[in-house]
Chain A
Amino acid sequence: MDVSTPEVTSGTGVNGARPARRRNFGRRTALTLLAYLAPAFVFVAVFTYYPLLMGGQMAFRRWSMLDLTSTPWVGFGNFATLMADELFGKVMINSTIWVIGSLVPQFLIGLLIALGLRRNFKLRGVYQAVVFYPWAVSGFLIGILFRWMFNSEFGVINDMLMRLHLSSEPISWLADPNLALFAVIVANIWYGVTFFAIMILAALQSVPDELLEAAALDGAGRWNTLVRVTLPTIRTTLLMTILLRVIWIFNFPDIIYGMTGGGPGNMTQIATTWMIRYTQQGEYGLASALGFIVMAVLVVFTGAYLAILTRENRS
């Protein structure tokens, strides 16, 4: 992640910026340091990389729990099976809607809240600690909470809509193929706003006051200062936060898994919930191939995103 963001880290002062100095150290020190690093490395190698690599090669084998006696090499057979599946196109479209539909509102609401929190006020610390709590809750449990609130018979959301006369009859949010994706996205927006608010607030607080005062002296209004001075200053942080978030949301099935499990009729099935389903069916070959496709999509997206950014920065 060479995309370090000076605005955010500037608070760490001189020490944060200094490079680790010692290059030439004795053999004894070298061994000590190796010993310090070894446990972390061994754990990650044995329990993360080894299974990941094993899983990686499963993508090219017919590997099903139904028949483990033969796991023949099938080349790109699993990939072909996936792409020939009529669900494939739908899953990719759903994943795209899931990411964009969640991310844009999360970003906009998060920005507004960060702007609201920018100036210190008496209860700001308390406010942040309170609004912060969704972070402590798993996406899976959030999914269950919203599943209950969106319940078609006894759900509080239907009740509110009817009391406000916005709907004349209970809506079956999670059973209706046209509404289920909307409902899971609403839950995800709610869950993700905090993250953006906190990242953007940290970036905003790194904008020097002098810059804003200078803008004010030049007669710039609030809106102009925001659009012409503040946002451009933290542009890199914003764009990097968005990129990391796209990757993260694409890989985030937990809310959907807790709320609908991908249903009804695969209407909320995204790439990673589809992977979970294959894993639960014991179809590890297909699940793993799907994992490769997810990674490929994300790598291509990241490459394109960074390329556009770099070109814009140059001009």
Chain B
Amino acid sequence: MINRDPLSLKIFRVAGLIVWMLITLFPLYWILLTSLKPASQIAEYPVRYWPREFSLENYASLFQKSQFGSYLLNSFVVAATTGLVATVIALLGGYVMSRYEFKGKGVVMLAFLVTQMIPAFIALGPLYQMFTNLGLVDSRFGLVLVYVAMTIPFSVIMLRGFLANVPDSLEEAAMVDGATRFRALWNIIVPVMTPGIVATFIFNFVNCWNELFLSVTLINTEDRKTIPTALNGFISSFNIEWGPMSAAAVLTIIPTMVLFAFASRWIVAGLTSGATKG
């Protein structure tokens, strides 16, 4: 199969892939470049594709003019906590869904799947009311609760897909040897499917890190805002300051980009097989 293509087709293929890579990378390059230009050179026309000088002043002014440090910390704490809690809960749930047949299993699965299809905006108003009554408005803990509920369904589906690849003879052998079901799950299965678990955690982390509409609805106080909520404030002002804005965008993108690049192979496996196995 290899090397049978004529040269012209090969060149076409390589050229096409390179062009697409450049198109994909350009917005990232552009926002990074904008963030590193001195403030005076951002509003400049014709545009410069390589700045005369580099500067970190946009980053400095971002941290001076806004509480970006708090936003970063809030986003990190909320996303990491949610990722951890949701992944553990979904692992237990996914284990049952993958290993056992029981009455109502189809309904449970459907209930998880349906949440992926409904426009979530319907829930925003009632959630706000509910959280007002519970005293959870403006609370990072409250945000974690909603995010855990938001990320569980897909995590269950994804982990169930990964679990299907682990033969159940493994944990049966352990249980014959006297281990409890939980021990067998924890000591035998978890180590085998670490890639799947890490991928699920990263997927959840990134989803929470990026979530906008729930956090905008539930968080008002400046020092409790997550990054997307803060960015929403930035673009709502009449005159967007593109210098600090681009610095904020770069600092938002980099952590999740690194995480995704690290786990992309496993996430792709989880999405393409786990998601279609429903």
Are A44 and B17 in contact, with the CB atoms below 8 A? no
Picked from B1, B17, B92, B260, the residue with its CB within 8 Å of the CB of A117 is B17
Are A55 and B126 in contact, with the CB atoms below 8 A? yes
Are B148 and A148 in contact, with the CB atoms below 8 A? no
Are A149 and B44 in contact, with the CB atoms below 8 A? no
A291 at the binding interface (Cβ < 8 Å): yes
Query: Which A-chain residue is minimally distant from B242 (CB atoms)?
Result: A148
Using a CB-CB cutoff of 8 Å, which residues 5-36 of chain B contact chain A?
Answer: 5, 9, 13, 16-17, 20-21, 23-25, 27-28, 30-31, 34
Min C-beta distance of A261 to chain B, whole Å: 8
Which chain A residues border B112 with CB–CB below 8 Å? 44
Query: Which B-chain residue is minimally distant from A14 (CB atoms)?
Result: B167
Using a CB-CB cutoff of 8 Å, which residues 1-52 of chain A contact chain B?
Answer: 1-5, 8-9, 11-13, 15-16, 19-23, 25, 29-30, 32-33, 36-37, 39-41, 43-44, 46-52
Proximity string of chain A (262-294) to chain B, C-beta cutoff 8 Å, 1 when within and 0 when not: 000000000010011001001010011001001
Query: Which A-chain residue is minimally distant from B42 (CB atoms)?
Result: A154
Which chain B residues border A240 with CB–CB below 8 Å? 276
Are A125 and B30 in contact, with the CB atoms below 8 A? no
Are A116 and B152 in contact, with the CB atoms below 8 A? no
Interface size class of A (residues with CB under 8 A): 35 or more
Query: Which B-chain residue is minimally distant from A55 (CB atoms)?
Result: B122
Which chain B residues border A213 with CB–CB below 8 Å? 1
Are A4 and B30 in contact, with the CB atoms below 8 A? no
A11 and B273 in contact, given A55-B125, A109-B20, A279-B125 (Cβ under 8 angstroms): yes
A242 at the binding interface (Cβ < 8 Å): no
* Number of B residues, CB within 8 Å of A: 97
B164 at the binding interface (Cβ < 8 Å): yes
Are A136 and B122 in contact, with the CB atoms below 8 A? no
Min C-beta distance of A5 to chain B, whole Å: 5
Which chain A residues border B42 with CB–CB below 8 Å? 154
A209 at the binding interface (Cβ < 8 Å): yes
User: Given the complex of chains A and B, what is the CA–CA distance between A213 and B1 in angstroms?
Assistant: 8
Partner-contacting stretch, out of A77-85, A97-105, A126-134, A177-185: A126-134
User: Given the complex of chains A and B, what is the CA–CA distance between A19 and B34 in angstroms?
Assistant: 54
Are B101 and A22 in contact, with the CB atoms below 8 A? yes
Min C-beta distance of A137 to chain B, whole Å: 5
Picked from B13, B25, B102, the residue with its CB within 8 Å of the CB of A130 is B25
Which chain A residues border B265 with CB–CB below 8 Å? 125, 129
A12 and B253 in contact, given A47-B146, A50-B130, A284-B125 (Cβ under 8 angstroms): no
B259 at the binding interface (Cβ < 8 Å): yes
A249 at the binding interface (Cβ < 8 Å): no
Picked from A20, A154, A288, A291, the residue with its CB within 8 Å of the CB of B100 is A20
Are A1 and B122 in contact, with the CB atoms below 8 A? no
User: Given the complex of chains A and B, what is the CA–CA distance between A35 and B119 in angstroms?
Assistant: 30
A54 and B126 in contact, given A141-B231, A275-B121 (Cβ under 8 angstroms): yes
Min C-beta distance of A267 to chain B, whole Å: 18
Are A47 and B145 in contact, with the CB atoms below 8 A? yes
Our count of residue pairs bridging A and B at CB distance below 8 angstroms stands at 277
Are A22 and B100 in contact, with the CB atoms below 8 A? yes
Picked from A133, A145, A147, the residue with its CB within 8 Å of the CB of B260 is A133
Picked from A12, A43, A46, A138, the residue with its CB within 8 Å of the CB of B212 is A138
User: Given the complex of chains A and B, what is the CA–CA distance between A116 and B45 in angstroms?
Assistant: 38
Are A46 and B45 in contact, with the CB atoms below 8 A? no
Are A133 and B257 in contact, with the CB atoms below 8 A? yes
Which chain B residues border A144 with CB–CB below 8 Å? 231, 235, 245, 249
Are B242 and A40 in contact, with the CB atoms below 8 A? no
Min C-beta distance of A278 to chain B, whole Å: 9
Are A41 and B93 in contact, with the CB atoms below 8 A? yes
User: Given the complex of chains A and B, what is the CA–CA distance between A310 and B85 in angstroms?
Assistant: 41
B81 at the binding interface (Cβ < 8 Å): no
Picked from A36, A209, A247, A279, the residue with its CB within 8 Å of the CB of B124 is A279
Picked from B102, B156, B232, the residue with its CB within 8 Å of the CB of A40 is B156
Are A15 and B1 in contact, with the CB atoms below 8 A? no
User: Given the complex of chains A and B, what is the CA–CA distance between A251 and B213 in angstroms?
Assistant: 13
Picked from A16, A41, A43, A52, the residue with its CB within 8 Å of the CB of B273 is A16
User: Given the complex of chains A and B, what is the CA–CA distance between A151 and B96 in angstroms?
Assistant: 51
A220 at the binding interface (Cβ < 8 Å): no
Query: Which A-chain residue is minimally distant from B152 (CB atoms)?
Result: A40
Are B101 and A276 in contact, with the CB atoms below 8 A? no
Proximity string of chain B (224-236) to chain A, C-beta cutoff 8 Å, 1 when within and 0 when not: 0000100110010
User: Given the complex of chains A and B, what is the CA–CA distance between A230 and B253 in angstroms?
Assistant: 37
A87 at the binding interface (Cβ < 8 Å): no
B183 at the binding interface (Cβ < 8 Å): no
Which chain B residues border A247 with CB–CB below 8 Å? 117
User: Given the complex of chains A and B, what is the CA–CA distance between A284 and B123 in angstroms?
Assistant: 9
Are A52 and B123 in contact, with the CB atoms below 8 A? yes
Given A41-B93, A49-B115, 9 more pairs with CB closer than 8 A:
A44-B149, A116-B16, A119-B1, A132-B268, A141-B253, A251-B117, A279-B217, A288-B122, A295-B118
